[in-house]
Amino acid sequence: MSAPTTPHVDVHRGGDRLGTRTSWLNSRHSFAFGEHYDPDNTHHGLLLVNNDDVVFPGQGFDTHPHRDMEIVTWVLEGSLVHQDSLGHAGVIYPGLAQRMSAGTGILHSERNDSYRLQPDADPATTTPVHFVQMWVMPDEPGRTPGYQQLEIDEQLAGGGLVTVASGRPEHRDETAITINSRHSALHVARMHPNGTVRLPEAPYLHVFLARGEVDMEGVGPLYGGDAVRLTHSGGQRLVANGPAEVLVWEMHARLGAPAA
């Protein structure tokens, strides 16, 4: 089946997302995830997961496996402690780009250990960690697992779109971290009040407003948690009505179809 060629814009409001809530986790899912299966909402382009997670202090995801997936984690507030079976261990925080390639198989854990990192802190006063975790399909299965991270806080200070993770050849010299998906790229902007960014043009775009409020050309106002899925479109302007943070996936292929 050939990819669609008619421009299309599909707005998904944050309040309509399915969610998983426990004593320590508040997770909102942009796509079908876990027990929330919806055959009509499994992916957009090559993006299968866009989970907006808040994990309370001292809690988190215990060691669990992943396979054949490119996983990018973007922290908005607080800090997340990562450990994996490759021996990587560290703290992910706002402005640190992080990617884990699951490949043939990897085990990892993610926890909000903020009060453990501050021995004198009262657990009741430490900060929940708020992050977005995104999964895209790799070019092929069975790759060697890998991990990469890089501090890019300085580049984000300008308020424009910064290429955070990409497998696209044209981004090779401007990307913080690489992913094993040659048709995908993630861009992030920490927008200043009244600041403007212009979306890239691509067969598939996923625009997720992580926080703040913006006006999107041709769409109107977007609020924190809202997402816009575009096919064969792009070039629209986003104007921030205050501080805002937006995550944009640019994709040149989709699941089950050849590259555009």
Quote the number of domains for the chain: 1
Whether residue 20 lies inside any domain: the answer is yes
**Separation CA 221–CA 78 (nearest Å):** 27
Domain, as residue range, for 72: 8-251
Whether residue 3 lies inside any domain: the answer is no
The pTM assigned to this predicted structure is 0.92
CATH number at residue 211: 2.60.120.10
Q: Say if residues 76 and 133 touch (Cβ distance below 8 Å).
A: no
| pLDDT digit string (tens) for the chain, length 260 residues | 344 578 899 999 999 999 999 999 999 999 999 888 889 999 999 999 999 999 999 898 999 999 999 999 999 999 999 999 999 888 999 999 999 999 999 999 999 987 665 666 665 557 899 999 999 999 999 999 999 999 999 999 999 999 999 999 888 777 789 999 999 999 999 999 999 999 999 999 999 999 999 999 999 999 999 999 999 999 999 999 999 999 999 999 999 765 55
Whether residue 87 lies inside any domain: the answer is yes
Whether residue 238 lies inside any domain: the answer is yes
**Separation CA 165–CA 73 (nearest Å):** 10
Whether residue 259 lies inside any domain: the answer is no
**Separation CA 126–CA 213 (nearest Å):** 27
Whether residue 260 lies inside any domain: the answer is no
Amino acid at 145: P
Q: Say if residues 251 and 184 touch (Cβ distance below 8 Å).
A: yes
